[in-house]
Each structure stands twice: as structure tokens, then as C-alpha cells.
Amino acid sequence: MASRLVARGIEAGYGAVRVLHGVSIEVNEGETVALLGTNGNGKSTLLKSLMGLVRPAAGEIVLETDGRSTSLVGLGPEEIVGLGVALVPEGRRLFPRLTVEENLLLGAYRREARAHIEDTLAFCLEAFPVLRERRRQLAGSMSGGEQQMLALARALMTRPRMLLIDEPSVGLAPILVSRVIAKIRELKETRHLTVLMAEQNFHQATRIADRGYVIVHGEIAFEGRSTRELTEHELVKKYYLGV
Amino acid sequence: MSGRRLLAMAGGVTVLAVALTRLVDNQYYYFAGYVILQYVVLATAWNILGGYAGYVNFGSAGFFALGAYTAAVLIKAVGAPLPVLVIAAGVVSGLLGLSIGALTLRLRGVFFAIATLALAVVLQTLIVNWEYVGGSRGLYTIRPARVLFFGNYVEFLFVVMVVLAVAALTIAWRIEHSWVGRGLAAIRDNEEAAECMGVPTLRLKLLAATVSGALMGVAGAPFPYYITYMEPASTFNLDYAVNSLAMPMIGGTTTWVGPLVGAVLLGSAQQIATVTISSALNLLIVGMLLVVFVIVAPDGLVGLVRRRRSRG
């Protein structure tokens, strides 16, 4: 079940606006890697490029699974999902007028996931009891915290090996952020996931991250090989800790 | 509802329609029934793309007329029998749906809507300038003198339309209760999220556009025989575009029941208005009902009933 993601020299943007300038990152099997940066520095664009939602202008993205490497550049999102990568998008992006259960089932759209749909659904309802209670409710009518849980569960329904999570803390009360982060760690252990998490909430992200990158103006400004290195770095102190 | 039960129901409805032709003599009812059923097909077809996937088609009249003219050409050129007309009309209009979809469905919904609107105008212009089908003067199609079993051709056409309506509803039901339908619902609700989940959005949209276009063409296939005198202005009439959009919206767009209910209600209301007052009122009725429904019941009658039920 080894899987590893390597991106080198990614240049990407929207139309004439270049957002990423030669970004290189690496996520190894079983790691939780934090991608730290404040708003507008390119975190989401990087995740979207990895997912095939934004086509990079240059650079390469390689996914290694079970000793097989696949280049992800040029593949569509459905093919990338098919390779075992899932994205929990920023702002959840649920299907608001579908029920919680319908949202979850849609996570299992790809063929391999459909074969295990009963198991994965049972797991998700076990892991997120609140979703079991609200199974028949419309997703859009739930609270922000519940919606974030549903977004996580829906991504799990694709049976990913690698989970990309875009700002899980956005718009949530501090207590909920803390719960969501704890949940991500728990899921990572039980589902043997490799996690890349973009976050601007530094304290919460470093609670569960093994290491991380700081992205500033579309470039990797610093790579911390441990949470300690991250906390002690000048940039982080300047941007996050207000020291 | 299982597939077998669905087939049994479909067969039952057809048998009932045939039995009806043994009982009712007044020809008017067959003419009126034909028009209502034709709207059932059109509304159901529109709903597959417009309701399930949320891509609004303003060019239903173009797809319908293309089916009708395909049939008219085949009748004139080789005297093709009705089943061939239905299949050919479906194929031609389906291909049109596919190609318009391929050109515009990569973009967001608005572009598709604009393209379909323009499409109907372009097609009409082409037909007006095509001498073989009579240009703007139109052309006559003579009904076969006799038809097996039915004797009367209008009764036969009525039963044909019943079969087509049942077939369209069956297809819609099948789509709705499959992974295709689930994927289309995801596209309707949040296309970007659907992509993230691995839903092959473009393929599903193309499929929906093709099936939807094909069924609209099928609805037009028996039209030359029904109307006997066909000309572009009435075949491309705005009524078809507006009705096939308004009927599902009034009935409810998320299930196959919605277009059926909407088409039967609105279609009947228009038939009654045509007889008692004037056919000029038809679009007015639709317009006013649409405004009322958008305000009072944005999810249509089906949504209204569902909300009542879940409350009570």
C-alpha cells in the first residue's frame, strides 16, 4: 500500500495570472504534511493542480503507488481519483440539496469504490456518528462543523490512499477546528492514509503534522523537516506567531 | 420499483390506450391526446438534461423540428415506414445534441443555454432556404390510406405517441435510478465538487445531451403525418421551447414524475383554452403559471407534495 507524491517545479495559475512559481513538494507514505500559508499564497492552487482541477503550465507531478509511477499532469480529476487520491475541497463543496447519504454515495462514484460501497459507508457512519443521525437530512441544512465532517467522510468514500485536505478549519469555531483536526489524525491511522493538508491555522496544523512547507507568494519559502523546525523558523514567527 | 414491474406498467398503459381507441369515437380527443402526449415526451426529454443535470435548453423547438423534418424528408424520398422515421429522427437529433454538447458543455451552463437558443434559429433558417422540403411554403405529407388493425390513422398515431411517451418515461426512470442519474444530480448541485469526487462530468453531460436531443427528435418523428401540412414557422414554434421547459418546472424537475404531471396539466389546460377561448392564450397561461410556481413552489408540484408529506 505504498504511495508517494512528488511535485517538481510546478508553475500554475488562472489565465494570465501566475499563482505558483516553481513549487516542489514531496509527500511520503504514511506522512502527514502541512502546507502552511496565509490567504492568497497559492495553497489551494497547488492542491487543485495535484488533483487535475488546474492544469499546470510547467513542472511534473508523479504519483508512486505499489512501485508504479504515474505522471498526473494532463490527467483529469476522475482519473486521479481513480488512482487513489482524494481532495477535501476548501469550503467543503458539498451537494447542498442532496441528502447526507446521497453525498456519501457520490463519493464512491469510481468503479473500484462502488465495489466496496457497503463497507466504506458503514465505516463512515461509524466514524462520524452525527452523519448516521442526519442521514436523510439535506447536506446544506447542517452546521459548518457537521458539513466539514461530511466533506471528510465523502472523500473517504472514494477509498483514497492519499488525502489532500484544503483548509479544514475555515469558518469553524475553535472548538470545532480542534475536533476536525483530531478526526483527521484518527482517520489517518485507521485508514492508513497519507495526508497533505493546506492550512493557515498554524497551531492546529502542527498538532498532527510530521513536517511541513511554508508557501509565500507562490513559492516554497521554507521546508521544515519536523514540527520543531517549523515552530522555530523566522518566517513562521513573523507570519503566524506575531513574534 | 423494479425493472420488471416498470415494463409491466409500460405494457399495461399501452394496452389501455389501444382499448381506448375501441371505445371513443370522437376524433378530436385523439388529436388533443396526441398533442398532450407529445409534450410528455418533450418535457421528459428536456428534463433529462435540464432537470437532472441543470443545463437549460432553450432550443427544444429546434430538436423537435429536426426530428419532424428528418421524417418528412424520409417520407418524401423513400416512403419510409413509421418505425424507421422514429429511429432516424432520434439518431439525427441525438447527434445534434451530442455535437452542441461537445461544443459548449465544457463551459458553464449559460453558454449552453445561449447556444441552444441560437441553434433553433439557425436550423429554421436552413429549412426556410431548403427547397426540397418546401422552404417557407411548407410541404404536404399524405397519410397512408389504411393502417392495419386501427383503420383510422389518427387513432394509430395516438397509440404511437402513447408508446413513445411510455418509452421516454422509462428511459428517464432508468437514468434517474442509476449511477448516471446520481452523477447528473451531483453536477446539478455542484459541478466542481462532482469533479473532485471522480464523477466523469463531461461524459455524463454529453450522454444527457444526446439522450435528451434524441427523445425530442423522436417526439417530432410522427409529426408530418399528424399535421399533414408542415411549415417552418409552426414547426419551430416558440410554444415547443417554452412548454418543454415550463412543464418540468411546474411539475418538478428532480424526478420523472414532474414532467409527466406538468405536461398533462399544462397540455390539457392549453387544449381546453384552445377550444373554449383561443389558442393565443396558450403561452400566456404557461407564462403566468411559471411565475406563480417559481414564487410559490420552486420545486414544482412534486416538491410541494413532498414538503407537505414530510411535514404532516
In angstroms, the CA B249 to CA B283 distance is 15
Residue A112: pLDDT above 90? no
Chain B closest CA to A212's CA: distance in Å? 24
Cα distance between residue B157 and residue A104, in whole Å: 46
- Each domain of chain A, given as residue ranges in start order, spans 29-54+76-241
**Least Cα separation, residue B212 to chain A (angstroms):** 23
Q: How far apart are alpha carbons B202 and A95 in whole angstroms?
A: 18
| Cβ-nearest to A154 among B185, B189, B197 | B197
Termini Cα distance of chain A: 42
A227 pLDDT band, cuts 50/70/90, is: confident
Which residue of A lies nearest to B186 if distances are taken between CA atoms? A95
For chain B, which residues lie within 8 Å of any Cβ of chain A, measuring from their own Cβ?
A: 179, 182-183, 185-186, 189-190, 192-201
Q: In what order do the strands lie in the sheet with A68-71?
A: A17-27, A3-14, A58-65, A68-71
Residues (pLDDT < 70) of chain B are: 1-2, 108-109, 312
**Predicted local confidence at residue B275, as pLDDT:** 85
Q: Can you read off the three cell numbers belonging to residue B119?
A: 441553434
Cβ pair A87, A162 in contact under 8 A: no
Give the bridge partners for B206, in sequence order: none
Give the per-residue pLDDT at B1. Answer: 58
Q: How many CB atoms lie within 10 A of CB B116?
A: 27
Amino acid (one-letter) located at B310: S
User: What is the reported pTM?
Assistant: 0.90
pLDDT tens per residue across span A30-82: 999 999 988 889 999 999 999 999 999 999 999 998 888 999 999 999 999 99
Please state which of the four CATH numbers 1.10.3470, 2.40.128, 1.10.10, 3.40.190 is assigned to the domain occupying B3-311: 1.10.3470
CATH class of A29-54+76-241: alpha beta
Q: What is the mean pLDDT of chain B?
A: 91
Those residues with Cβ within 8 angstroms of residue A3's Cβ, 6 or more apart along the chain or in another chain? A29, A63, A64, A65, A66, A84, A161, A162, A194
- Among A102, A106, A152, A165, pick the best mutation site for testing chain B contact (most B Cβ within 10 A): A106
- Per-domain residue ranges of chain B: 3-311
Q: What is the pLDDT of residues A176-201, one digit of tens each?
A: 999 999 999 999 999 999 999 999 88
